[in-house]
């Protein structure tokens, strides 16, 4: 049976190389050392322990545990005092963002009493997003699958990922990958489980014809008749 769940400890350097997949991606760990981020890609990350220094051009940011970021183009990470996961979407241009720390639970309802926060929204319909999935203690999710890869890291707590091939214990700082279509569920007992999950594609997001600035703009009759609106 093909592997349906890939757990890996967050060590330094390349963790997963998916450059030949439908959504070309590479996944890196930053652990007690530096990492240079490539100029042609967009890099999504979460600090899992300690603090990370992010340098982008003349700007330098100190990011502590629970901080997340999106960096389009070249930058440098210094993991001398911490660890983080970096998911690089190749040949994609995202929006520079820094946020965090993660909240205690998600803001949106998800299956089986879980909750989710959309930390990084897709700038346009179909583009990548970053999520914080919160799974309360005593949860046994319904088995489910996704139409594209899921990649992430355990941000806090303990639990188990159950798949058709077996059961995988989950602990803080563990990176993971779930291939397209793989059936799985997350299970918790006495502890909650907090998961950072990156999606390479979405069925959600603004378009040129449907976005808040346009939808909440109401032209008056006089404005529509003015030379600038003809």
**pLDDT at 2 (0 to 100):** 60
pLDDT given at position 226: 43
pLDDT in tens, 33-92: 999 999 999 999 999 999 999 999 999 999 999 999 999 999 999 999 999 999 999 999
Domain boundary residue, one of 41, 73, 99: 99
Are residue 169 and residue 118 in the same domain, yes or no? yes
- For 138, other C-beta atoms within 10 Å of its C-beta total 12
Are 23 and 92 contained in the same domain? Answer: yes
If asked whether residues 70 and 52 sit together in one domain, one would say yes
Task: Let me know if residue 14 belongs to a domain.
Answer: yes
Output the pLDDT for position 32.
84
Distance (Å) of CA 5 to CA 27, 159, 184: 15, 14, 8
Average pLDDT, the chain: 95
| Segment 101-148, tens digit of pLDDT | 999 999 999 999 999 999 999 999 999 999 999 999 999 999 999 999
- Same structural domain for residues 57 and 93? yes
CATH number of the domain within which 112 lies: 2.60.120.10
Q: How many CA atoms lie within 13 A of 39 on its CB side?
A: 1
CA distance 29 to 46: 10
């Amino acid at each position: 049976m093909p592997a349906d769940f890939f757990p890996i400890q967050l060590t330094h350097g390349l963790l997963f190389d998916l450059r030949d997949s439908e959504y070309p991606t590479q996944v890196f760990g930053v652990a007690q050392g530096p990492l240079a981020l490539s100029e042609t890609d967009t890099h999504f990350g979460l600090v899992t322990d300690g603090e990370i220094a992010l340098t982008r051009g003349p700007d330098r940011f100190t990011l502590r545990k629970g901080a997340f970021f999106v960096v389009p183009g070249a930058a440098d990470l210094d993991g001398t005092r911490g660890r983080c996961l970096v998911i690089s979407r190749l040949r994609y241009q995202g929006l520079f963002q820094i946020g965090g720390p993660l909240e205690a639970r998600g803001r949106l309802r998800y299956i089986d009493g879980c909750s989710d926060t959309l930390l990084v929204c897709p700038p346009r319909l179909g583009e990548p997003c970053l999520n914080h999935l919160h799974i309360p203690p005593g949860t046994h999710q319904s088995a489910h699958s996704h139409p594209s890869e899921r990649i992430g890291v355990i941000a806090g707590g303990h639990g188990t990922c159950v798949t058709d091939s077996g059961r995988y214990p989950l602990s803080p700082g563990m990176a993971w990958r779930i291939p397209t279509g793989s059936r799985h569920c997350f299970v918790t007992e006495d502890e909650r489980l907090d998961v950072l999950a990156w999606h390479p594609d979405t069925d959600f997001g603004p378009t040129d014809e449907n976005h808040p600035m346009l939808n909440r703009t109401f032209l008056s009759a006089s404005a529509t008749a003015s030379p600038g609106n003809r």
